[in-house]
Amino acid sequence: MDHDAYDDTYIRAILTGVKTIAMIGASPLNVRPSYFVFKYLTERSYDVIPINPGQVGNNLLGKPFVGSLRDIGRPVDMIDVFRNSDRAMEVVKEALSLPVLPKVIWMQLGVHNDAAAARAEAAGIKVVMNRCPKIEYGRLTSEIQWMGVNSRTLSSKRAPVPDSGMRLSLNRASVGGGATTAADRVATAGQDSKKDNS
């Protein structure tokens, strides 16, 4: 497989087919990319499990941290890897030791390891490298256009504005606007002012 360019149908099939995602390297710090991705995917009804051995005993958005893939104790559909490229092989080896293999190993932006990908694919696991599921989800659902990110697609047809409960092309519930604390405050203030005016 060409891991430098993915067909949209390949990415779409993964994002619509997986339900449970183990995120290796999830961070409780709300300024880290893994935190944003965790929050975004959780808000879109994915069951995301945070993995970080240094955080065991703590929670991330109400979900308890686990120390490793083996500690989850149930099958996962996808493993999202927030680790350096040279650590990808050990993630693949751990995934291959699980009683039930995951369907997908997704390596985040900047993570690329051809040997690890080949080993996973030889076991029948789909692989994505150097991509972010949050970005790909937003791009394929048109949410990314409403969050102020250039999708590099020109069209005279405007995508629908995502709102709470709306189903977009990946058949998952969407939420309107961004997922930052500031955006949450603005949304709450807007709801409060509507109550005051009624």
Domain ranges across the chain = 8-136
Tell me, what's the pLDDT at 176? Answer: 47
So what CATH class is 8-136?
Answer: alpha beta
Residue 191 has pLDDT above 80, yes or no: no
pLDDT, residue 146, reads 54
Average confidence (pLDDT) over 56-62: 94
CA distance readout (Å), 108 to 25, 95, 160, 170: 11, 16, 28, 20
Between 84 and 188, the higher pLDDT residue: 84
How many angstroms separate the CA atoms of 191 and 78, rounded?
A: 36
Q: What are phi and psi of 36, to 5 degrees?
A: -60, -45
pLDDT at position 49 over 90: yes
Q: Are 144 and 114 in contact (CB under 8 A)?
A: no
The pLDDT value given to residue 119:
98
Mean per-residue pLDDT, 76-104: 97
Split at pLDDT 50, 70, 90, the class of 183 is very low
Query: pLDDT > 90: what percent of the chain?
Result: 66
